Amino acid sequence: MSTVWITVEPEMKAVSASESALNPWLIAVTVTLATFMELLDTSIANVSLPNIAGGLGRSFDEVTWILTTYLVANAVVLPMSAWLSRVFGRKTYYMACVALFTLASFFCGVAPSLPILLVARIFQGIGGGGLAPVEQAILVDTFPPKQRAAAFALYTIAIVTAPAIGPVLGGWITDNFSWRWVFFINVPVGLLSLLLTSRLVHDPPSFAKERRTVRDASGRLQVDGLGIALIGIGSAALELLLDRGQIEDWFGSRLIVWMSVIAVVCLGSAVFWELNHRDRLSISVC
């Protein structure tokens, strides 16, 4: 899975005396919990697809879109996570992602039809797309330079083990309970993550300076609308190409051909735009 790094200040000061007294490993476990849950969801539904197809009365090819929609939505949000965290605040954005992911997981579990399940998976992917990159920034905020390697070792364990155990856990849940519990399992974990994050995680004072970079001199929000659109559409097309290519017989399919063209044009144009245009559209935000 791709990783987006969020720029943070090289020197971090304590937020307050009470916050600095917190064990940083409590914060690390808290943010890793939601990231583990999100990465688990990239693979946990794989082995449940036949059961989902039977339960919803759909063909296997149709229910494979459950995987595709999640990954596409995830790929669209991932490149924008740094900018969104500056706009809303790192903690606020992180909690919003966890809340959206958790709520969407619940609707995935109760979905009575495939279209509703796919819509819920899109929102689940949108919520999950911001978790991993923001966790990296929170870890940098929380740990001094000498301890960051150990903190990122915990993060690495999560991103390696979660996709690996997903199919095993998904198969066990499906066999012993129901395929709906593949999604319901995220709800208690998400609620616990929200509770712990609200109490333990705080944006450092230095982050306020970083947040000011998204606004111009008059206080209006600076939005690179064209850049966001190009990267979002290009990432979605590329993810769709890679995920559906084997199913659709690669370039023997018009869908794959068109996705290839869109991905190349949009991502190539995005690179050109970002290298040659520094101006951003400014909009008033209350």
Domain borders along the chain are 23-208, 215-286
Contacts of 177 (CB under 8 A, 6+ apart): none
Q: Tell me how far apart the alpha carbons of residues 150 and 141 are, in angstroms, rounded to a whole number.
A: 14
Q: Tell me how far apart the alpha carbons of residues 191 and 98 are, in angstroms, rounded to a whole number.
A: 8
pLDDT score recorded for residue 119: 94
Q: Tell me how far apart the alpha carbons of residues 276 and 268 are, in angstroms, rounded to a whole number.
A: 13
Q: Tell me how far apart the alpha carbons of residues 226 and 197 are, in angstroms, rounded to a whole number.
A: 33
Structure tokens of 239?
């993810």
How many residues are there in the chain? Answer: 286
Confidence of residue 14 (pLDDT cuts 50, 70, 90): very low
**Distance in Å from the first CA to the final CA of the chain:** 36
pTM for the model:
0.80
Confidence of residue 220 (pLDDT cuts 50, 70, 90): low
Q: Measured on CA atoms in the order 286, 210, 6, 38, is the torsion positive or negative?
A: negative
For the segment 122-139, the average pLDDT, to the nearest whole number, is 87
Residue predicted with more confidence, 267 or 18:
267
Q: Which amino acid is at 135?
A: E
Indicate the class that CATH gives domain 23-208. Answer: mainly alpha
Which of 39-53, 138-152, 182-196, 268-282 is most confident?
182-196
Backbone torsion region of residue 173, taken as left when φ is above 0, otherwise alpha when ψ lies between -120 and 50, otherwise beta? alpha
Task: Judge whether residue 16 has pLDDT over 50.
Answer: no
Task: Judge whether residue 155 has pLDDT over 90.
Answer: no
Q: What DSSP letter does each residue of the chain carry, written as one string?
A: ----PPP--SS---S-HHHHTS-HHHHHHHHHHHHHHHHHTTTTTGGGHHHHHHHHT--HHHHTHHHHHHHHHHHHHGGGHHHHHHHH-HHHHHHHHHHHHHHHHHHHHH-SSHHHHHHHHHHHHHHHHTHHHHHHHHHHHHS-GGGHHHHHHHHHHHHHHHHHHHHHHHHHHHHHS-TTHHHHTHHHHHHHHHHHHHHH----THHHHHHGGGB-TTSPEEE-HHHHHHHHHHHHHHHHHHHHTTTTTGGGSHHHHHHHHHHHHHHHHHHHHHHH----EEE---
Structure tokens of 65?
């879109």
Task: Judge whether residue 181 has pLDDT over 80.
Answer: yes
Instruction: Encode pLDDT of 92-124 as tens digits.
Output: 899 999 999 999 999 999 999 999 999 999 999
pLDDT score recorded for residue 115: 92
pLDDT score recorded for residue 137: 84
